[in-house]
Amino acid sequence: MTKGLDRGFSRRGFLKAGTASLAAGMAGPGLIAATGRVVAQEPITLTFWTWIGHADEAVQLYEAAHPGIKVKLENVGGPPDYYIKLQNLIRAGSGLPDVGTMEYAYMPRFAPSGALINLSDYGADEVVSGYVPWAVKFLQYEGKQLGLPWDAPPLALIYRQDLVEQYGLELPTTWDALREQGRKLKAQTPDVHIINAEMGSGAWVTAHLVQGGWKPFALDGTNITIRINDDVARRFSDYWQSMIDEGLITTMASFTPEWYAGHDKGAYAFWSVGAWGANMFQFFVNESAGKWRVTPIPQWDPAHPLNASLGGAGYSAFTQSAHPKEAAELAIWMSSNIDVATMYNQHAGHFPVVKAVSSAPGFADVQLPQFGGQKTNPIYTEAVSQIDPNFQWSPFQDFVFVKIGEEVGAAANGERKLSEAFALLQDQIASYASDQGFTVTT
């Protein structure tokens, strides 16, 4: 009897091994076509991780169009915890979702891991020709399209119409003009600041440096040039240092209870943020509902207008997936579907990367209730065109963001001058890069 059992097991084991090697040996288009019928009979469930609001609506649209596929939407937390989870699951070799959100700044960290599916193998190249080019580029690595973009969030100033009118402020077109308005405001009231500069947020500081033409990293294989403390950083430091010294601004971290209350209760006239700012309204706008408007980001040099992407994300499919083809197709669909992009724009102001959406008739006339019916899309359309497609993130951008937030934030709090923070950052980040095996040029 024991013998029989043994034989049974080993035979089953042999059969299993045989099927596996057969599948591995023949995993070409022919097999996919042959097994397509079988796959269609059993509903596939794909897991999709994102923290972005309205994703449930996008999933409903997807499921309606794909009867054989169920999507399990999970919010496992936002950055940085989300990326810690991804990093751990890649190391563990299992547990990743089929598809997940991937921010532009984090792609260089995850691209070399081999955990991301090259979406070009599943038809990505056909859709990207109709995309905002810089967003496509941010998710490429060594000629592979390891993700497809979803939103293009350039900077703009979101402001309080009521406060601007009450204190007779003008909408600034240059950063100097913003400081002038800050002085005008301070002369009238101690209760309202012109703006809160989110110096403790590395992503915020980075975007505002990039908007001034900052190019801190140039990566060439394992050689990296790091120039953090350059003229752009010095201009940034001098400008915001004067704002701090004159008492025109506060510099607290964003999205804290204090930040939310301050922006709802009229403690700030302006808020500088990416196009996703409107999506944050759900978390704090109560008494200020309907009083917010949008105006373009002030420029350093109006003759050469620049913008930067604050955040910005796309979708990647993971090679761990049991259904790589379906996972890749889900990522591509979520990125390219016109109804989904339109939904995100009309519900939360997210600016689409799909040009078919942003050039469609009526797009410029979309009125967001968050902005009292203002037609904001034209502002962001122009802003998107001002982003430098050649900007390079570092391959350890999460580390860079945290260090910038700590050092620039501490300097803004009075520990030292902002300019000194950038000198420190240059040293810290260059030494981290060389610890990580890069050949560093400064």
Partner 1 sequence: MGSPSRRGSQHLRTTAIAYVFLLPLLLVFAAFVAAPLCYTFWISLFREAIVGGVRFVGAANYLRALGDASFWGGWVNVARYALAYIPILTVLALLIALLLDSGTIWRSSLFQAGLSLTYTVPTVIAAVIWSYLYGPRFGLLGQVARGAGFPAPDLYAPPVLPFSIANISIWQLTGYVMLLFYGALKAVPPELEEAAALDGARGWQYALHVKLPLIRSSIVLSLMFSTIGCLQLFAEPYLLRSNAPERIKNDFTPNMYSFWQAFGAHDYSYSAAISFVLGTLVLMIVAAFLALANRFGAASK
Nearer to partner 1 by Cβ, of 339 and 406: the residue is 406
Chain mean position to CA 6: 55
For residue 107, the minimal CB distance to partner 1 (Å) is 14
Distance CA 322, CA 184 (A): 61
| Least Å from the CB of residue 442 to partner 1 | 17
| Residue whose structure tokens are 């399990």 | 72
Write down the least CB distance from residue 254 to partner 1, Å: 9
**Distance separating alpha carbons of residues 82 and 50, to the nearest angstrom:** 9
What's the sign of the alpha-carbon dihedral 241, 206, 181, 288? Answer: negative
Tell me if residue 400 falls in helix, strand or coil: helix
- Per-residue tokens: 99: 């598809």
Does a cis peptide bond (omega within 30 degrees of 0) precede residue 305? no
Smallest gap from Cβ 399 to partner 1, in A, equals 6
Handedness of CA 405, 113, 315, 387 (dihedral sign): positive
* Nearest distance from C-beta of residue 410 to partner 1, angstroms: 4
User: In whole angstroms, what is the distance from residue 115 CA to residue 98 CA?
Assistant: 11
Q: Which residue, among 116, 99, 115, has the nearest Cα to 58 in the 3D structure?
A: 99
Q: Is the CB of 56 or the CB of 415 nearer to partner 1?
A: 415
State which residue, 359 or 441, has the beta carbon closest to partner 1. Answer: 441
Of 351, 189, 218, 212, give the one whose Cα is nearest residue 277.
351
- Give 191 or 365: the residue with its C-beta nearer to partner 1: 191
Closest CA to 70 of 98, 29, 100, 93: 98
CB of 289 to partner 1, least distance (A): 18
> Among 226, 245, 179, which Cα is nearest to 404's?
226
Distance between CA 250 and CA 413 in Å, rounded? Answer: 9
- Distance between CA atoms of residues 142 and 144, nearest Å: 6
Can you tell me the distance from the alpha carbon of 245 to that of 189, in angstroms, rounded to the nearest whole number?
17
Nearer to partner 1, 119 or 252 (CB): 252
Q: At its nearest, how many Å lie between partner 1 and the CB of residue 66?
A: 35
In the complex, the smallest distance separating the C-beta of residue 187 from partner 1, rounded to whole angstroms, is 20
Least distance between partner 1 and beta carbon 435 (Å): 7
Query: Closest CB to partner 1 among 251 and 272?
Result: 251
Nearer to partner 1, 264 or 326 (CB): 264
Sign (positive or negative) of CA dihedral 183, 184, 188, 194:
negative
List of residues contacting partner 1 (CB under 8 A)? 80, 84, 87-88, 112, 199-201, 222, 252-253, 255-258, 261-262, 265, 267, 395-396, 398-399, 402, 405-406, 408-410, 412-413, 415, 432, 435-438
Closer residue to partner 1 (CB): 286 or 359: 286
Closer of 263 and 293 to partner 1 (Cβ): 263
How buried is 3 (Cβ within 10 angstroms: 0-12 exposed, 13-18 middle, 19+ buried)?
exposed
- Both tokens of residue 214? 């900052």
